[in-house]
Structure 1
Amino acid sequence: MSPDDRSPQRHGDLRPSLGHFCEVAAGPSGTLLDILHEGPSGVPVVSPPDLTENHTVDTRQLRRVPFEQAERFARFTLGAGDVLLVRQGTLGRLALIGEEHTGWIYSSSCLRLRPDRRRILPEFLAAYLAHPPVQRELLALAQPGTVPSVNSTMLKDFPVVVPGLERQREVVAALADIDEQIMVQRKMLNQLTALRPSIFERLKRGQ
């Protein structure tokens, strides 16, 4: 087994960098995106406001580039399993890209992380980067200024601790179970919240 095939381990303060596990690419220049419009036609462009707290893409307010201009952005398209990370402003917000987003473009305020699936699972990468202690490390990494920011080089050099693939699968499966329970409980909470006013009215009338 070659050194690159071994699962990276922490040795004191020595940790492998994020660039060991994925490709990190900055978005297109902001000036190239001057052609963005809010109409229904064109290729969607994902920006920081489109990333949700649940690490998905909110498609309701997407802006687009005209189809005839899309070829200029071929290097900046998204694929299933990519992780899109905000690099300035709301630093650390992210989304795991699904099949339905394949071929879309990402904005200059984001970094695209394309996992090497021989080393890291996309779902694990998204969960790792969303982990609060890791989020704090990302914020500490940010360049000082009015708007905190990181660039692709800084993110490639970002130290991480990643277990082997089998343990990653176990972690992803466990988190999926927890997320399912959260959805069930949230649905129950929403139902009870909606029911509360009618119950109050009935109780008030002595029914």
Structure 2
Amino acid sequence: MVPNGWERKPLEKVAEIKTGVAKGKKGLKDPIDVPYLRVANVQDGHIDLSEVKTIQIERHQLERYSLQVGDVLMTEGGDFDKLGRGDVWQGQIAPCLNQNHVFAVRPNKQVLLPYFLAALSGSSYGKTYFLSCAKRSTNLASINSTQLKEFPVLLPPLPEQRKIAKILSTWDKAISTTEKLIETSKQQKKALMQQLLTGKKRLVNPETGKAFEGEWEETTVGAVASLTAGGTPSTKHAEYWGGNIPWMNSGEINLKQIYSVEGRITALGLSKSSTKEIPQNSVLIALAGQGKTRGTVAINRIPLCTNQSIAAIMPDKEKLCADFLYFNLDSRYKELRSMSTGDGGRGGLNLSILKAVKLLTPKLNEQQKIASVLTAADKEIEVLETKLAHFKHEKKALMQQLLTGKRRVKVDEMEVA
């Protein structure tokens, strides 16, 4: 049902759909290099201009293919969740073209506002349509210009479109501001780690009210901690699985702070395999794993067992603070990966390598103070990320109501006029 006072029309009736320029054309006459937008530039709700490449076209075609302010850019394909994603072009670069895998939709602004169309296409309503007619393969989907032209656009009166777009833009600003705060906080934490974990910046000792003093000691992980690797109970024995003992696989190390894991093994599974019980607040490192997993560091906040692709480092509590070690090794991800044996993606770390990793450590009370400061920085980032998730959830719910007319907005008489 179309809401009272609204219309529904195919996109081609209320907008011009312009396809982009294909790469690799040869024999061009009077060619010129022009910036152009690829699929990677067109994100869901924003245009990423961090890397803009150029393409050659014939000079006389420049006006025909150039983007105009107010064009709505949409991708023809990609991952399921990226289908039809896009945003409004604001003329950030002029001239600028779009690749043939990116559609430029030019709305008739007498009946359809660009920001309303961008919101509608990116909403559940739009994505449901695009997925219903998309050509699918493993994890990928694509639409063609014919399907895009048939997209059934819901058309409230212009003042209502304007009001809806204004409401959603307020949420977009809140989301954008929070994302920038998160990025700033992460950069600040990174700089803080570089200073605190190397002794370039000394914190105030709460016992003396003065900055910590004294030389830091150079040691190795193996000299101040014990290490062990995990194991996996045989999956051929059902009685080894489904018990009460948490068991962690290497993929879960990306959680960083481990408060819960999916796997469970029985006491029999523990006794019949090489896995071991790891006390809480041990530092975990992925010895192997696909992609970027190898070298990733986490800390377990619960006792658990792990598979054989994870090493556990259990600090000597009189010499080494577990959280200090966690932050130290977490800041050295690239260094740890470079220590891997083997070649390419098949390389791995082992206990001997980890035992030899060098550490520069202050006295225990300074380690604890450094860890508490960095933990506070993590908490700040966590609060912002929770806030961001809330904003995105609220905006998504609001979009579903406003863009389909389930919830109507009040429009002032002056706006109608």
Residue of structure 2 equivalent to 1:84: 73
Contact 1:92 1:139 in 2 (8 A): no
Name the CA shift for 1:102/1:167 in 2 (closer, same or farther; >3 Å): farther
Contact 2:45 2:85 in 1 (8 A): no
Residue of structure 1 equivalent to 2:33: 42
Structural RMSD (CA): 3.1
Who wins on radius of gyration, i.e. which is larger?
2
Aligned residue identity for 2:51: Q
Residue of structure 2 equivalent to 1:171: 164
* Equivalence map 1:103-182=2 (5 Å): 103-144=95-136, 148-182=141-175
2-structure distance, mates of 1:34, 1:149:
30
Name the CA shift for 1:194/1:145 in 2 (closer, same or farther; >3 Å): closer
Q: Which structure exhibits the higher relative contact order, with contacts defined as CA atoms closer than 8 Å and separated by 6 or more residues?
A: 1
Higher helix share: 1
Deviations 1:109-161 (A, max 9, x none): 11110010001111111111111331122122213456532222221111121
1-structure distance, mates of 2:62, 2:136:
30
Aligned residue identity for 2:34: V
SS in 2 for 1:148: strand
Name the CA shift for 1:163/1:192 in 2 (closer, same or farther; >3 Å): same
1-structure distance, mates of 2:24, 2:62:
12
Per-residue deviation, 1:102 = 4.1
Aligned residue identity for 2:10: S
Name the CA shift for 1:151/1:183 in 2 (closer, same or farther; >3 Å): closer
Residue of structure 1 equivalent to 2:308: none
Name the CA shift for 1:95/1:65 in 2 (closer, same or farther; >3 Å): same
SS in 2 for 1:100: coil
Which residue among 20, 25, 47 is the counterpart of 1:32? 25
Per-residue deviation, 1:89 = 2.8
Per-residue deviation, 1:25 = 1.9
Per-residue deviation, 1:179 = 1.9
Runs of 4+ in 1 over 6 A off after TM superposition: 199-203
2-structure distance, mates of 1:174, 1:181:
11
1-structure distance, mates of 2:146, 2:78:
18
2:61 aligned with 1:72: yes
Contact 1:48 1:93 in 2 (8 A): no
2-structure distance, mates of 1:196, 1:62:
29
Aligned residue identity for 2:46: H
Name the CA shift for 1:49/1:184 in 2 (closer, same or farther; >3 Å): closer
Residue of structure 1 equivalent to 2:52: 62
Contact 1:80 1:101 in 2 (8 A): no
SS in 1 for 2:127: helix
Name the CA shift for 1:158/1:53 in 2 (closer, same or farther; >3 Å): closer
2-structure distance, mates of 1:166, 1:109:
33
2-structure distance, mates of 1:173, 1:85:
21
TM-score by length of 1: 0.75
Residue of structure 1 equivalent to 2:348: none
TM-score by length of 2: 0.40
Aligned residue identity for 1:154: Q
Gaps of 5+ in 2: 197-202, 207-367, 374-417
Name the CA shift for 1:194/1:143 in 2 (closer, same or farther; >3 Å): closer
Higher strand share: 2
Aligned residue identity for 2:88: L
Gaps of 5+ in 1: 1-6, 10-14, 36-40
Contact 1:26 1:151 in 2 (8 A): no
2-structure distance, mates of 1:145, 1:194:
38
Contact 1:123 1:172 in 2 (8 A): yes
Aligned residue identity for 1:51: V
Percentage identity across paired residues of the two chains: 24
SS in 1 for 2:131: helix
2-structure distance, mates of 1:33, 1:87:
24
Deviations 1:160-186 (A, max 9, x none): 212111111111111121122223333
Per-residue deviation, 1:193 = 4.5
Deviations 1:179-199 (A, max 9, x none): 222233334444555566859
Q: How many residues align?
A: 189
Per-residue deviation, 1:23 = 0.7
Contact 2:71 2:88 in 1 (8 A): yes
1-structure distance, mates of 2:34, 2:187:
38
